[in-house]
């Protein structure tokens, strides 16, 4: 209810807002890639945060009905099928990649965690393609088998990495966020 009153389609905005306020991941003028951007709360937040000098590009398989600002581009695509070729115009150009991707849950924990990790791995793969050296990464993950390994893998590619669970996450939820700050672009480029 509060989110809608403030012009956001979903309460997920408060998760990103808390992450950003505590860990300072998005700055004015940044180019931000938002993976899994529907219904659009993170897109709107990032758009306001980067201002007119910045740009936010959102990808999702669902339509985003509401977003504001001339600094937003929405692309209706399944990120699981994005390849290096599709990202060529963004390679080494984004200061931030944010991902609130989540699978359609089945209620079977191991299956849901596995699908969440698959999305997280793809988001990380995309982040390595598009992030500038020193860039930041925020990615939702479901707690479970493989989530610790995913965190360790992300941590190796950033100066600082943190597991973060915003207060806005519902108590019964198994989600947390992996936040990487200061992307370490390898000498060999993004493809490792």
pLDDT score, position 122: 97
84-110 pLDDT tens trace: 888 888 989 999 999 999 998 888 888
- Which two structure tokens, joined as six digits, stand for 156? 């190796």
Place of tokens 């943190």: 162
Assess whether pLDDT exceeds 60 at residue 12. yes
Predicted confidence (pLDDT) at residue 31 exceeds the cutoff of 50: yes
What pLDDT is recorded for position 16? 97
Quick one: pLDDT at residue 2?
84
Average pLDDT taken over every residue of the chain: 92
Instruction: Please choose, from the candidates 43, 36, 39, the residue with its C-alpha nearest in 3D space to the C-alpha of residue 16.
Output: 43
Size of the chain, expressed as the number of residues it contains: 192
The upper half-sphere exposure of residue 136, i.e. CA atoms within 13 Å in the direction of its Cβ, equals 18
Cα separation, 56 vs 31, whole angstroms? 6
Average pLDDT over every residue of 134-156? 97
Instruction: Take residue 35 and report the two structure tokens written for it.
Output: 């993976």
User: Does 187 score more than 70 pLDDT?
Assistant: no
Active-site residue numbers? Answer: 140
pTM higher than the cut 0.75: yes
| Pairwise CA distance, residues 71 & 73, whole Å | 7
The first and second tokens of residue 78, run together, are: 């399944």
User: What's residue 65's pLDDT?
Assistant: 77
Structural domain boundaries of the chain? 2-183
Confidence at residue 129, expressed as pLDDT on a 0 to 100 scale: 95
Question: What is the model's pLDDT at position 6?
Answer: 83
Looking at domain 2-183, its CATH architecture is 3-Layer(aba) Sandwich (3.40)
Of 45, 54, 58, the closest CA to residue 15 belongs to 45
- At 84 the pLDDT is 82
């Amino acid at each position: 209810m509060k989110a809608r009153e403030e012009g956001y389609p979903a309460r997920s905005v408060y998760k990103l807002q808390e992450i950003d306020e505590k860990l300072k991941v998005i700055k004015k003028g940044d180019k931000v890639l938002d993976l899994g951007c529907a219904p659009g709360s993170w897109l709107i937040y990032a758009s306001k945060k980067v201002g007119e000098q910045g740009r936010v590009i959102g990808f999702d398989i669902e339509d985003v009905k509401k977003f504001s600002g001339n600094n937003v581009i929405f692309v209706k695509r399944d990120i699981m099928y994005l390849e290096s070729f599709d990202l060529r115009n963004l390679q080494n150009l984004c200061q931030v990649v944010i991902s609130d991707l989540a699978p359609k849950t089945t209620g079977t924990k191991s299956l849901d965690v596995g699908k969440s990790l698959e999305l997280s791995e793809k988001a990380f793969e995309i982040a390595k393609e598009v992030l500038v050296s020193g860039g930041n990464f925020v990615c939702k993950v479901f707690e479970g088998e493989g989530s610790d390994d995913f965190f360790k893998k992300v941590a190796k590619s950033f100066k600082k990495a943190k597991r973060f669970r915003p207060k806005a996450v519902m108590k019964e939820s198994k989600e947390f966020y992996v936040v990487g700050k200061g992307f370490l672009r390898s000498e060999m480029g993004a493809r490792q």
